[in-house]
Amino acid sequence: MKELYSVEGTLNRGFRGQITYTVCLEEPCDELDVHLTYDYAELRYRDEKADLDREKILKIYGTEEHYRECPPITPAVLEKTIREVSDMSGYVITEEEARKFLVYDIDLKTEIHPLATLNDQFIGCIHKQLPDRHMIFREDYASHGCIPQARMEGVLKITLLVFNVAKDHTRYTLRVSGGKEDGRV
């Protein structure tokens, strides 16, 4: 397949909303690949008061340097965590347990999902926790979340649905590739 369009962008932490890219498919395509990748980031915190379990830190954060780059646990974060866990489980955790939870257990990822329309008709959305995904469209096949398409031409819109960005300067790349059965574009 030939690359028809490529774009890169950067998102700030906390952004919620959508960004739409419009591509005019000049030639009909029998196959289309919409490829979205973004920096995978889990939102974690560093705890300057606690002794580190170095083995766990390396497993979760990769390097100690990455751990040190995380935002610090503040009293406000601690209080909010204790309250939320209590609401969720009915169990009131201690400050020490909350600190461990924030460093080792919290599972909150950057969440960006691509949605596609062709000539204003919905053709797919991948709502999965994956930092690298392809929306593949063919007549006899479509990737999960997508609807098979026989012949694609006209206006393709790709919308990035951004639910959560865990870190500032989260980069993403969107590539659209198309092809024909005879190998041409």
Partner 1 sequence: MFKRYELHNHTDESDAPISCGELIRRMVAERVDCFAITDHNTVSGHGIIRNQLERDGLKLTCAYGMEYTTYFGHIVCPVLETYVPWDSIDRHRPERLFEACKRAGGITGIAHPFAYGEPFAMGCRFEMEIRDFTHVDFIEVINNSESLHTVNGPAIRWWEDLVLGGIPISACAGMDLHRVTDRMDGRFATYAEGCEGGDAVAELRAALSVQRTWVSKGMLLDWHREGEAIRFTLRDVNKPGFEAPSVYTMMLKGQGGERTRDITGGELTVPLSELSDVEIPKLYGGEVALENLICVAPVIRKEAL
Nearer to partner 1, 6 or 20 (CB): 20
As measured in angstroms, the least distance from the Cβ of 162 to partner 1 is 8
Q: Which two tokens stand for residue 110?
A: 């950057």
Of 161, 124, 152, 157, the residue nearest 38 (C-alpha): 161
- Identify whether the C-beta of residue 152 lies closer than 8 Å to the C-beta of residue 28: yes
- Cα separation, 142 vs 137, in Å, equals 5
Cα 127–chain centre separation: 9
Closest CB to partner 1 among 29 and 113? 113
* Residues at the contact surface with partner 1, assessed by CB under 8 A: 16-18, 20, 43, 80, 84, 87-90, 106, 108, 111, 113, 115, 117, 121-122, 124-129, 142, 144-147, 159, 161, 163-164
Question: Measured from the CB of residue 185, what is the shortest distance to partner 1 in angstroms?
Answer: 25
Closest separation between CB of residue 84 and partner 1, Å? 7
Nearer to partner 1, 2 or 127 (CB): 127
Give me the least distance between CB of 68 and partner 1, in Å please: 21
Nearest CB to partner 1, comparing residues 78 and 185: 78
Q: Do residues 123 and 146 lie in contact, with contact meaning Cβ atoms separated by under 8 Å?
A: yes
DSSP string of 74-98, one letter each residue: PHHHHHHHHHHHHHHHS----HHHH
Report the number of secondary-structure helices (H) and strands (E) in the chain: 4, 8
* Shortest distance (Å) from residue 161 CB to partner 1: 7
Query: Which residue number, 161 or 185, has a Cβ lying nearer to partner 1?
Result: 161
Rounded to 5°, angle at Cα 49 from 44 and 52:
65
Q: Which is nearer to partner 1, 12 or 20 (CB)?
A: 20
Cβ pair 34, 116 in contact under 8 A = yes
As measured in angstroms, the least distance from the Cβ of 45 to partner 1 is 10
